[in-house]
């Protein structure tokens, strides 16, 4: 059985796990930008008295990608629990 590390993904070195991990970190970074960094930057610049244009916002495509990845991850977990993972 493969071990799993939250920072490095499934241990085994497959390209699929590296691609999933890359998409996960990109999605997490985009969510942090959208809901943490942009509001804090707008608040800080308005509080300081300087006018800066609002940074560009991300659209709903980010949520579609995130929920799609969560769904695929949930289905993969279900397959592993039922013992049919890798059987085609």
Q: What is the DSSP string of 53-87?
A: PPPPPP-THHHHHHHHHHHHHHHHHHHHHHT-TT-
Distance CA 83, CA 69 (A): 21
In a domain, 88, yes or no: no
For residue range 44-88, list pLDDT tens digits in order.
888 888 877 877 777 777 788 778 888 888 888 888 888 887 765
Distance CA 21, CA 79 (A): 19
In a domain, 75, yes or no: yes
User: How many domains would you assign to the chain?
Assistant: 1
| pTM, to two decimals | 0.55
**Backbone torsions φ then ψ of 9, nearest 5 degrees:** 75, -165
Domain span including residue 49: 4-82
In a domain, 87, yes or no: no
- Angle value at C-alpha 36, between 34 and 40, nearest 5 degrees: 110
């Amino acid at each position: 059985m493969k071990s799993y590390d939250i920072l490095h993904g499934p241990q085994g070195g497959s390209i699929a796990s590296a691609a999933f991990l890359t998409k996960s970190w990109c999605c997490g970074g985009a969510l942090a930008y959208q809901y943490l960094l942009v509001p804090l930057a707008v608040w800080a610049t308005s509080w300081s008295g300087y006018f800066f244009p609002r940074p560009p916002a991300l659209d709903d495509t980010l949520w579609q990608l995130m929920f799609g990845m969560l769904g695929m991850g949930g289905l993969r977990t279900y397959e592993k629990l039922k013992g049919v993972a890798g059987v085609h």
